[in-house]
Amino acid sequence: MSTETTLLARRQRALGRHSPLMYDTPLHLVRGEGVWVEDVDGRRYLDAYNNVPHVGHCHPHVVDAICRQAATLNIHTRYLHDNVVQYAERLTATFDPSLSVAMFTCTGTEANELALRIARFVSGGTGVIVSNFSYHGNSAALAAVTTGLPAHEALAPHARAVPIPDLNHWDGDPDQLALEYANGVLEAIRSLKAAGIKPAAILCDTTFSTEGLPRVPNGFLEQAVAHVREAGGLFIADEVQGGLGRTGDHMWAHQAYGVVPDLVTLGKPLGNGHPHAGVITRPDLLDIFASSALYFNTFAGNPVSAAAGLAVLDVMEREKLMQNAKAVGKYLQQGLARLSRKHALIGSVRGSGLFFGLELLRGAGKPASEETKRLVNAMRDRGILINRIGPHDNVLKMRPPMPFSRANAELLLSTLDDALTSL
Amino acid sequence: MSTETTLLARRQRALGRHSPLMYDTPLHLVRGEGVWVEDVDGRRYLDAYNNVPHVGHCHPHVVDAICRQAATLNIHTRYLHDNVVQYAERLTATFDPSLSVAMFTCTGTEANELALRIARFVSGGTGVIVSNFSYHGNSAALAAVTTGLPAHEALAPHARAVPIPDLNHWDGDPDQLALEYANGVLEAIRSLKAAGIKPAAILCDTTFSTEGLPRVPNGFLEQAVAHVREAGGLFIADEVQGGLGRTGDHMWAHQAYGVVPDLVTLGKPLGNGHPHAGVITRPDLLDIFASSALYFNTFAGNPVSAAAGLAVLDVMEREKLMQNAKAVGKYLQQGLARLSRKHALIGSVRGSGLFFGLELLRGAGKPASEETKRLVNAMRDRGILINRIGPHDNVLKMRPPMPFSRANAELLLSTLDDALTSL
């Protein structure tokens, strides 16, 4: 039995045989640096998938900040400490001025949990509107509003799922599409009300990533949120996956829309791998919540987590990573468009900045799910890590560390070209 | 305005004015080492309160493990990696052989959330039985079963709270007390059933720490769990606070009882401050859950979290910290008993190992809540950190890092003596 088989067998025994693994033959990574990872046999892969190592795998500035603070003091936030205050100030400064307070958690799940709890306290309602193919976390309350997992549980009676408009599959007037789908939200509110349920919030990932990165028409989200607010509910923007400059034009994806959220949830990239997440909101909302609930999280916002978060913000600024996402993202969009003219399998090019995708369709617009899977594996064979998303698993998901360069983009594009040709 | 006032004002602005802080004048800590912490003015405090820095503040072996791994690779567990497998194997080896699989999370809240979700899938029930003064986490599902917070929300319709027996306030036959309180659990089950609710689990901290460390008679928990199992529910032992050798006699507090849990939840001390937690369970239960639900947690069990967890286990063994907890704990119990004979305010001595307390009572058994608060502050003035717990906040809570020595214990005892005299 090879070492790999032994490790896999041991893993299945110790973590359970259902513990999720990527690829049919799992990858055994041992090292990472910048946009590159290396497996146990010394083979290097260009990482065009992982957004958690936001400023690059094992960035020395972040590692150094974690090491120094972990060697000095690592304790909960019920004592005063500079780091968490400084971090909250720097982080909230990147939001609309109304969103001026930060509450820290350890994971995106905890952030969405807390945001939903706050929305329910503030609104007095319990209803939640989500998109019809979305994922916001692994807790009971979030599993009850999950629509985008292969084996998701039944949607809770207080939840309504709405479709998200996609200009990729619409030839008509974009405003008309926005209006129609916003009316879908209105219908969801009416359906909740008919069941005696007051809406607490509309909760959506403002990059709509699990949904497959649809091209959402201007005005849809603005009208949808207006309907929810009219009914007394709040708008929670989930930035756990797409936030922190990734889309290139804005620090936060929701800033591309003409509506300011009531609550924003953050996660994956915040600590470059260190478990660190949070909720940004308005002080008046937090006051209402805190007047009747006590929230405390032992690890969240501790001096090490805050040091990691501060170091990530440092690197973002020093290395101009949002600007890089914009420039390299533009180059990628052009390259992907060229590929789409060459390969009939490509139905559309999606995303922006360093969160982008390719939709693969067979003839007659049929989702090419099987080919997408083969392409993900073909890219791995060629030394590049990507993945797939969307209701039909037919959208390539590409979301590399932010220092992804033009040269990395060229390699990705030429390898995609080769792999598509080989299918 | 002093620097401290400015930091506090800035904190209230950036984190919200309700963000919890200890002491009337908050402590501003900047450094920690072993069982000692230091504030911004260079004053040192003996830490007899914090259990998160389990093997000692900033233990070099743990810091080194975190630094080395954070500089090498920090990525989710959907690729193969040695650390998480090795860690799961070493951790599960400290449990009953039936509890052979580990699922990792980042916090105790996430661990209890996951355990409850599994219990509900496996049992097909939704009912939860908790103690009538307990805390298991900050998510919606856990807030709905929280009974031990000052401003707790209404108990959910599917939850029942039962009292926990305490030999400290009982002169009769211990078996009689155990039987009576186990019958309370039976009543809770009947009440759930009468409301058409099937029990999913009894969830309890097996040190009963929030409850104030009552002295629970033999047989109570065993009979209570038997009643719950008879009704189709499971037993979740919450070891988030008291686990990992702290009680001195066993690696896990539940091992003091004659019943093996179905699920055990772990948290605070596991990573010595690194956000790391988990659930230990039986493979058959996990299989039932995983056959209909997909669970994944981005940060949990990543190579850095697993490295931190492994290093903590190393130090536990090398420095014989469980044995230390037992020996120093015994010495402390004797010293606390001496204090109780000297100071009329002391109603009872509680706990075991390095999780111990003193119950303070005025005449006629009235909880001395105000005096307990003053004592916590008087101890801080004398350079020792402790806190208080229990339904009446009249039990001193002492839970120091595990390398707490006999000399540390002597200092704690003599300072308690002095502070009690000063009240």
Per-residue pLDDT of chain B (423 residues; tens, 9 = 90+): 578 889 999 999 999 999 999 998 999 999 999 999 999 999 999 999 999 999 999 999 999 999 999 999 999 999 999 999 999 999 999 999 999 999 999 999 999 999 999 999 999 999 999 999 999 999 999 999 999 987 677 899 999 999 999 999 999 999 999 999 999 999 999 999 999 999 999 999 999 999 999 999 999 999 999 999 999 999 999 999 999 999 999 999 999 999 999 999 999 999 999 999 999 999 999 999 998 888 999 999 999 999 999 999 999 999 999 999 999 999 999 999 999 999 999 999 999 999 999 999 998 889 999 999 999 999 999 999 999 999 999 999 999 999 999 999 999 999 999 999 999
pLDDT of B207-258, one tens digit each? 999 999 999 999 999 999 999 999 999 999 999 999 999 999 999 999 999 9
Domain B65-318 of CATH type 3.40.640.10:
yes
Strand-strand pairing, B101-105 and B387-389: unpaired
Task: Decide: helix, strand or coil at residue A316.
Answer: helix
Q: How many CB atoms lie within 10 A of CB B201?
A: 27
| Residue A317 backbone zone (phi > 0: left; psi -120 to 50: alpha; other: beta) | alpha
Contact list in A for residue B151 (CB cut-off 8 A) is 292-294
Q: Which are the contacts of B114, defined by CB distance < 8 A and separation ≥ 6?
A: A138, B103, B105, B265, B279, B295
User: Rounded to an integer, what distance in angstroms lies between the CA atom of residue A199 and that of residue A226?
Assistant: 13
Best mutation target, B50, B139, B158, to test chain A (most A CBs within 10 A): B139
- pLDDT band of residue A2 (cuts 50, 70, 90) is confident
B369, B393 in Cβ contact below 8 A? yes
Instruction: Determine the pLDDT at residue A364.
Output: 83
Instruction: Determine the pLDDT at residue B262.
Output: 98
Instruction: Determine the pLDDT at residue B153.
Output: 77
Question: Where are the CATH 3.90.1150.10 domain residues in chain B?
Answer: 3-55+320-422
Task: Give mean pLDDT, residues A170-180.
Answer: 97
Residue whose tokens read 């939850």: B159
Task: Give mean pLDDT, residues A129-136.
Answer: 97
**Between residues 1 and 60 of chain A, which touch chain B (CB distance below 8 Å)?**
4, 7-8, 10-11, 13-22, 26-32, 37, 50, 52-53, 57-58, 60
Q: Supply angle C-alpha B82, B85, B285, rounded to 5.
A: 160
User: Rounded to an integer, what distance in angstroms lies between the CA atom of residue B106 and that of residue B124?
Assistant: 26
Inter-chain contact B63–A63, Cβ cutoff 8 Å?
no
User: Rounded to an integer, what distance in angstroms lies between the CA atom of residue B64 and that of residue B53?
Assistant: 15
Task: Give mean pLDDT, residues A389-404.
Answer: 97
A127, A200 in Cβ contact below 8 A? yes
Q: Name the CA dihedral angle for B148, B150, B154, B157, rounded to a multiple of 10 degrees.
A: 0
Partner residue opposite B107 with nearest CB, options A30, A84, A297: A297
Q: Which are the contacts of B27, defined by CB distance < 8 A and separation ≥ 6?
A: A79, A80, B39, B45, B380, B385
Inter-chain contact A28–B290, Cβ cutoff 8 Å?
no
Q: Check if the interface score ipTM surpasses 0.95.
A: yes
Inter-chain contact A287–B17, Cβ cutoff 8 Å?
yes
Q: Name the CA dihedral angle for A103, A106, A108, A113, rounded to a multiple of 10 degrees.
A: -60
Q: Which two tokens stand for residue A217?
A: 């028409």
Contact list in A for residue B387 (CB cut-off 8 A) is none
DSSP type of residue A24: S
Q: Which fold has domain B3-55+320-422?
A: Aspartate Aminotransferase, domain 1 (3.90.1150)
Residue B286 CA, chain-centre distance (Å), reads 24
Strand-strand pairing, B36-39 and B29-33: antiparallel
Inter-chain contact A66–B70, Cβ cutoff 8 Å?
yes
User: Rounded to an integer, what distance in angstroms lies between the CA atom of residue A346 and that of residue B108?
Assistant: 45
Instruction: Determine the pLDDT at residue A1.
Output: 57
Residue A261 CA, chain-centre distance (Å), reads 16
Q: Which fold has domain A61-318?
A: Aspartate Aminotransferase; domain 2 (3.40.640)
Best mutation target, B44, B54, B79, to test chain A (most A CBs within 10 A): B79
Task: Give mean pLDDT, residues A38-66.
Answer: 98
Q: How many CB atoms lie within 10 A of CB A323?
A: 12
pLDDT of A165 above 70: yes
Instruction: Determine the pLDDT at residue B292.
Output: 84
Q: Is A110 on the interface with B (CB under 8 A)?
A: yes
User: Rounded to an integer, what distance in angstroms lies between the CA atom of residue B216 and that of residue B203?
Assistant: 16
Angle between helices A303-318 and A82-92 (to 10 degrees): 40
Q: Which two tokens stand for residue B415?
A: 């300072």
Q: Supply angle C-alpha A327, A330, A336, rounded to 5.
A: 140
Instruction: Determine the pLDDT at residue B1.
Output: 56
Question: Where are the CATH 3.40.640.10 domain residues in chain A?
Answer: 61-318
Report how far apart the first and last C-alpha atoms of chain A are (Å, whole number): 32
pLDDT of A81-96, one tens digit each? 999 999 999 999 999 9
Instruction: Determine the pLDDT at residue A4.
Output: 80
Order of strands, sheet of A277-281, starting from the edge strand that comes earlier in the sequence: A101-105, A277-281, A263-266, A234-238, A199-205, A127-131, A159-162
Residue whose tokens read 């360093």: A354
Question: Where are the CATH 3.40.640.10 domain residues in chain B?
Answer: 65-318
